[in-house]
Chain A
């Protein structure tokens, strides 16, 4: 009979990434940079929400944006044209999410220089926003090293999304409910939605907005302003 040797591993597949993410957060704390990881389904209005939010904050904070997509650079160009802030495009090479390593590479490109060089200097940015790949499954599992996680749920997607994608809602610090201008045309129950979100995550802040008209965006901008200030203390 053949001899089989068994090598015991007993290791979570996410362990290395979790460690890299913690290390990245440590670096960001030292440099005083607040990294926000923004997630959502495709088409929920991430880019429009970002443009509205950045235009309200760009006089108060130095902001940069990293757009992550499988392909194209339409979002990075759109952000730069509409807000004037630094914006770069990351390609995930077919992958459905960004991990901590890819995020760090992106940050190095935004801030400039080698990672070791960068860490010894104060950053030129207060707030870096990572627009993750539009997807509610994988980005929830891979910690990017962000300080806070935010997600956008749009009204047409339905109020039962928190029940279908529990992990995403359980890791988000803030849930922005977008496209509230179309509430009269959909069977979207705002109170039920808040209840479902809090079932998954009692601490989540819920902010209803309309990125198109700007309604409610101030509240999200203020939430960010407060979180950035707290991180820099």
Chain B
């Protein structure tokens, strides 16, 4: 039920932003979800549907997910490589001195409101 907890956090932030902007109904929430964020997009949208429809502000609101590919940087050779395919070991030079450049984001990108 990891994704449901995340959904409650999203709803809290969206409610706050809607209030600040005087919005009464949000039609789409766009998320940036990193490839190695441990979020499963289908679970997130399922939990979203269940929880969002309980709120007037979010009834029928779509949760749109824009994935962010994970990229790892290697300090050994200075190159970047796709994280999911190669993991912690650099495919260019075999070094273990690598770190995640991007791909663990769980971020609300924007709200879309129909006038």
Contact = CB atoms under 8 A, between A and B. Distances in A.
Instruction: Determine if chain A interacts with chain B.
Output: yes
A4 B115 contact: yes
Interface string A85-102: 000000000111100000
Interface in B78-115: 88, 96, 105-115
Nearest to B88: A199
Interface in B3-56: 4-6, 8-10, 12-13, 17, 21, 23, 27, 38
Contacts of B12: 16
Contacts of A95: 1, 4-5, 8
B13 A11 contact: yes
A96 B10 contact: no
Q: Is the interface of A mostly helix, strand, loop or mixed?
A: mixed
B23 A7 contact: yes
Contact of B6 (A3, A8, A11, A13): A13
B23 to A, nearest CB: 7
A13 B13 contact: yes
Contacts of A60: none
B13 A137 contact: no
Contact of A7 (B9, B10, B21, B106): B21
Nearest to A142: B5
A137 B107 contact: no
A153 B76 CA distance: 31
Contacts of B2: 96-97, 137-138
Size range of the interface on B?
A: 20 to 34
Contact of B115 (A2, A9, A16): A2
B33 to A, nearest CB: 10
A2 B28 CA distance: 14
B43 to A, nearest CB: 12
A199 B98 CA distance: 10
A16 B10 CA distance: 11
A14 B13 CA distance: 10
B13 A16 contact: yes
Given A16-B12, A141-B38, A9 B111 contact: yes
Given A6-B110, A7-B23, A167-B38, A17 B9 contact: yes
A10, A14, A141, A199 pick with most chain B CB within 10 angstroms: A141
B5 A10 contact: no
Contacts of A167: 38
Contacts of B88: 199
B115 A11 contact: no
B6 A5 contact: no
Nearest to A96: B1
Interface string A141-174: 1100000000000000000000000010000000
A120 interface: no
Nearest to B29: A9
A199 B105 contact: no
Contacts of A9: 13, 17, 108-111
A206 B113 CA distance: 51
A12 interface: yes
Q: Nearest 3 A-B pairs (CB), nearest first?
A: A3-B115, A7-B111, A9-B108
